Amino acid sequence: MNLFFRSLGHKISRLLCKASVVLLGALVIIPFQGKPVLAAEEIVFQYGIASHSVSIEDLKHFAATGEMSRSVRFLFDFTKQNPQIARRILVQEFPVETVIVSNLANSVPGEMVLSGVSQLIYPKSDRARIQALRGALIVSASDDNKVSLIELFRNYPTQQMYVDGKLLSKTAKDVNNMLEIFEESLKVSLSFLRDLYK
């Protein structure tokens, strides 16, 4: 009889263990279906005292299809930027390994780069600019070892993210030419970093 109860106890214990693993798995996986729990839904482009908001979904749709919603069209009309160049910049993918991105983003040189970029892209609060950008970069790379600007926007860990429109307008003129140079130099840099972080 004791043997029967002991055997039954083991079976119940194993069943509860399996059930807890399934439940834990569900709790871990469900929040990450679709998009991260904390993810940007809207970008606020600031031009001095003026600002204009665009939803991430509208921007994502424009990046994928070239079709512009009213808010995206207004943004290009207002800024006088070339939509085709902007679209190319949004969807351009850069191959980066998650481990390397994480190591680099947590290094002193990496933080200096993030600090510079966070003058252009930032959360409402000034206190976590670098952390927000670092988090978005790592999450973007972790999916497929590639990062694009639209992916970075989607994975930004606050509901609203802010972009300095004036600075972006100045930067955008050079970005298109820089992409080709950056792509080539990135291949060399990644090769060096792989050896460095082995």
The predicted structure's pLDDT at residue 63: 93
The predicted structure's pLDDT at residue 70: 95
Identity of the residue numbered 37: V
3-state SS string for 78-146 = HHCCCHHHHHHHHHCCEECCHHHHHHHHCCHHHHHHHHHHCCCEECCCHHHHHHHHHHHHHHHHHHHCE
The predicted structure's pLDDT at residue 101: 83
Residues 133, 118 share a domain: yes
pTM of the model: 0.66
Residues 160, 85 share a domain: yes
Residues 127, 76 share a domain: yes
Residues 72, 14 share a domain: no
Give the residue numbers spanning the domain of 192: 37-196
Residues 108, 15 share a domain: no
Summarised one tens digit per residue, pLDDT across range 48-107 is 888 899 999 999 999 999 999 999 999 889 888 889 988 988 898 888 888 888 888 888
Integer-rounded Cα Rg, in Å, for the chain is 22
Count other Cβ atoms within 10 Å, centred on residue 21. Answer: 10
Residues 152, 85 share a domain: yes
Q: Phi, psi at residue 67, to the nearest 5°?
A: -80, 135
The predicted structure's pLDDT at residue 53: 93
Task: Give the total number of structural domains in the chain.
Answer: 2
